Structure 1
């Protein structure tokens, strides 16, 4: 299956094709994948994410799914890349990983059936739908700051075409330890359904991204942690968590909170943890 990656090469944005452990530009230049300065593999006009889709995640929260999926929007300014730093702003504590698979649209898509949707998909990449739950009390409806803050949407390493999404594992690691272990077979709504559902009312353009949901066991991470998401056949996306250089401004807007809802969501719906802080590593 071909894999395409966008990198900075000699100061320019270049689209490359993976050839083993090297990336090959159209003019023949080569760079080692381990040495390449990666960029997000696509440039979307919008990023749309499904709230809940994996059955293990639904069971973890002990809730019922609605009859049809619900969604939220991540601004394009949240985009990040393979090996890019994920910033947890100073003064925030509840930054959670969510390993996912991203659908990338290949041609303009509007009002298509579920059976037709596959023909509009360019390919797939790995995603980490980070959530800054410190803002969940104020943005619970829109999820704007929770999921849309800068750097919270790493994609990569590359765009893989011709990938069959059925029966593929999806795993997340923190500092080499397996923390999420799911499968595309536990998705309630598959990739084609999600595309067709959104395209009923929203035109999808080439490069647009749909995030397809995360398995159980999304948990907080700390500055210094290395978070890696691996999807079978799509590669392994790696990002380091760092502390932001400035505090959340205290003189305007809602401030980070540690309510029951914040703690419950960050710790996986475990209401017995109310009032208890997550253990700190290191």
Structure 2
């Protein structure tokens, strides 16, 4: 397996290869991985995410899976990097993490069979599909602001080629404590199926990203929290939560809410029947 990253090196974006604890540029320059200023490891034209895929997540919400996957879109303006700051806008309270495996497309894919999909995937990275559930009522259909607000799509640290997605552990940590603990084995639809499904009607271009779903345990985080997503063989993606300096404008558009749907989604399903208390503000 080979891991490629994108970093700022002497002020310029550079693709590097990881060699142990160092990152090596094509011209031979080296930098310690822990000291590098990371960028998102790919520059996609689009990021597509599946709603539900992990069995434990489905059980948590108590509703059956649809017969086939459903999806939403995260705009590329939401992209973020390893060690990047995830911004919770002022006036919002319900920002949730969702640790996931991200599929990275390597060549143009359109109308391909699932058994062909592997040859169109260049590699995989770690993703955190953050959701701003304060807008769940307004954008439940599209999830545009819920999942597409600025900084809500951290990817990284790098893209790993030659990785087999089968039988891999996925864990999310909040301030060092395990918050999600799942496996790719609990996915209803595997990576090849997802790529082939989307490519039936949407052309996938090199660098495009598909987020493959999260296990149970997504919960709200607060400014000051550190969230890490670790996928076996892909590394650990670190984000820290910060408070936005300005509130959501009140003179235009729908405002953040705390409806039953917002709280139920943010706190993991039938929250009011399980005695779960809302987190600190």
Query: Taking structure 2 as the reference length, what is the TM-score of the superposition?
Result: 0.98
CA distance in 1, matches of 2:273, 2:89: 24
Give the equivalent residue in structure 2 for 1:211.
Answer: 211
| 1:275–1:170 CA distance, 2 compared to 1 (3 A) | closer
CA distance in 1, matches of 2:153, 2:279: 25
Q: Give the conservation status (yes or no) of the 8 Å contact 1:40–1:82.
A: yes
Give the equivalent residue in structure 1 for 2:237.
Answer: 237
Runs of 5+ consecutive residues of structure 1 not aligned to the other structure: none
Give the equivalent residue in structure 1 for 2:266.
Answer: 266
Task: Give the drift of 1:79.
Answer: 0.1
Give the equivalent residue in structure 1 for 2:94.
Answer: 94
Q: Deviations over 1:189-224 (max 9, x none)?
A: 000000000000000000000000000010000000
Is residue 72 from structure 1 mapped to residue 72 from structure 2 by the alignment? yes
Give the equivalent residue in structure 1 for 2:130.
Answer: 130
Task: Give the drift of 1:279.
Answer: 2.3
Task: Give the drift of 1:274.
Answer: 9.7
Give the equivalent residue in structure 2 for 1:189.
Answer: 189
Q: In the TM superposition, what are the counterparts of 1:49-60 in structure 2 within 5 Å?
A: 49-60=49-60
CA distance in 2, matches of 1:179, 1:135: 23
Instruction: Supply the RMSD in Å over aligned alpha carbons.
Output: 1.2
- Work out the number of aligned pairs and report it: 281
Give the equivalent residue in structure 2 for 1:109.
Answer: 109
TM superposition outliers: structure 1 runs of 4+ over 3 Å: 273-277
CA distance in 2, matches of 1:104, 1:234: 13
Give the equivalent residue in structure 2 for 1:153.
Answer: 153
CA distance in 2, matches of 1:203, 1:102: 17
Q: Deviations over 1:101-131 (max 9, x none)?
A: 0000000000000000000000000000000
CA distance in 2, matches of 1:70, 1:270: 22
Q: Give the conservation status (yes or no) of the 8 Å contact 1:263–1:273.
A: no
Give the equivalent residue in structure 1 for 2:254.
Answer: 254
CA distance in 2, matches of 1:103, 1:212: 7
Runs of 5+ consecutive residues of structure 2 not aligned to the other structure: none
